[in-house]
Amino acid sequence: MKRRTVLGLAAGTAAGLVLPAGAQQGPIKIGELNSYKVFPAFLEPYKKGWELAVEEVNAAGGVLGRKIEIVSRDDGGTPGDAVRVAEELLSREQVAFLIGTFPSNVGLAVADFAKQRKTLFIAAEPLTDKIVWDQGNRYTFRLRASTYMQTAMLIPDAVKLKKKRWAIVYPNYEYGQSATAAFKKLLQAQQPDVAFVIEQAAPLGKIEAGAVAQAIADAKPDAIFSSLFGPDLAKFVREGNQRELFKGVEVFNLLAGEPEYLDPLKDETPNGWYVTGYPWAEIKTPAHAKFLAAYQAKFKDYPRLGSIVGYSTVMAAAAAIRKAGALDQEKLVEAMSGLAHGTPFGDITWRPLDHQSTMGAYVGQLAQKDGKGVMVNWRYVDGKDALPSDDDIRRMRPTN
């Protein structure tokens, strides 16, 4: 009876009956790792974003006739744990390639691992410039605008103000250090007489905000550049407000306009700060409107920037597989180089030169509306317009 069944299936196939697409193969597994427990404010919306993308890709028929499946793991927020998790995803789970990571130091560790294993790695969130420039490699690509790029987007406003005495406060790890270096370099290039009167490097997640705010106040700066985010930012804002630190002082802060970090400030939101962020409720482009409607229908909540990052990362992974036509690592890497696809922020391209995507960011100022923090006077800056020259990048980036 079994023999007749097998012969019958064979005869049916020979007669032109085709089994459903992907029937002979399981889903394409993509390994995702991130610091979910350490950075929940960003990464819980991020997870929802990639879940929505997976649902949409599979509803449209998947890729290469197969559904995609994300195998997700928490990387503990440390480089060592992340490398161990990445190895487990490849060896035990047999994933096709890797995506994800949040902190810059973790992203760099996984990028180096991907280079050693010759495996595609799409870095979703780590903002360090090194991941595509100084320590860039053939197998690593990065989605978000880097610290250099987002800082460059703020520089025109900083230059216009012509403030000479600057204070700097940042989280003391790769991201904060990189952002500070970029800001000083870019501002000094356009305003040589600028002076940095004080720098405060705070341990990530452990800022002594009162002492930091007082030290900056004592230095009497004309302006402040900050790359604080999350609870560190909230504590700094609270202590600064109490000391009237921001009164008559211009403040620039990377990331403070992202809903993840802006919403908790509520009526403590300082007015007039220059920030990068995501004014989700006011963006009226067709691409964003479509994403917003789908996200709210599925989750009964509004998106955060993490939602955009998670969604766009999976859409990039799916687009790369389609373009490659296979799961061979070298074909996937070639497919990522120059890959173009849509995101809720519009179309982006993954640059062959440095593997940086051209996803941009929204730049504006903070204000309060109905007791909540909002972005005003905002504009979208395309990532391609906030990069160093190609020659500068070639000098920084090692050969693959």
Residues 126 and 193 reside in one and the same domain:
no
- Please tell me whether residues 226 and 322 are part of one structural domain: no
Is the per-residue pLDDT at 19 higher than 60? no
State residue 25's pLDDT score: 82
pLDDT of residue 385: 97
Place of tokens 């270096």: 181
Q: Are residues 258 and 317 in the same domain?
A: no
Same domain, residue pair 307 and 373:
no
Indicate whether 233 and 375 sit together in one domain.
Answer: yes
- 17 within domain boundaries: no
Is residue 156 domain-shared with residue 271, that is, in the same domain?
yes
Report pLDDT digits (tens) over 286-342.
Answer: 999 999 999 999 999 999 999 999 999 999 999 999 999 999 999 999 999 999 999
> Cα(12)–Cα(6) distance, rounded to whole angstroms?
10
- Same-domain status, 335 and 250: no
170 in any annotated domain: yes
Model confidence band, residue 15 (pLDDT cutoffs 50, 70, 90):
very low
Token pair, residue 46, equals 């991020």
Q: What pLDDT is attached to residue 14?
A: 39
Q: Is the pLDDT of residue 99 over 50?
A: yes
* Domain total in the chain: 2
Same domain, 171 and 134: no
Position 5 confidence tier, pLDDT thresholds 50, 70, 90 = very low
What's the confidence (pLDDT) of residue 49? 98
Identify whether 298 is part of a domain.
Answer: yes
User: pLDDT tens digits for 195-208?
Assistant: 999 999 999 999 99
Residues 247 and 386 in one domain: yes
253, 342: one domain: no
Assess if residue 23 is contained within a domain.
no
Gyration radius of the chain's alpha carbons = 23
User: 1 in a domain, yes or no?
Assistant: no
Backbone angles phi, psi at 166, to 5 degrees: -115, 140
pLDDT at 20: 43
Residue 10's pLDDT is 41
Q: Average pLDDT of the chain?
A: 94
Residue at 370 is within a domain: yes
The reply to whether 308 falls in a domain is: yes
Pair (253, 345) in one structural domain: no
Note the pTM of the prediction, 2 decimals.
Answer: 0.92
Query: Which residue segment(s) compose the domain that 220 sits in?
Result: 148-282+362-390
Same domain for 254 and 214? yes
What's 171's domain CATH number? 3.40.50.2300
Cα–Cα distance, 344 to 300 (Å, whole number): 18
Question: Among 185, 194, 191, which residue's Cα sits nearest to residue 165?
Answer: 194
9 within domain boundaries? no
Q: For residue 24, what pLDDT is reported?
A: 53
Contact 353, 257 (CB under 8 A): no
Instruction: Please say whether the beta carbons of 209 and 236 come within 8 A.
Output: yes
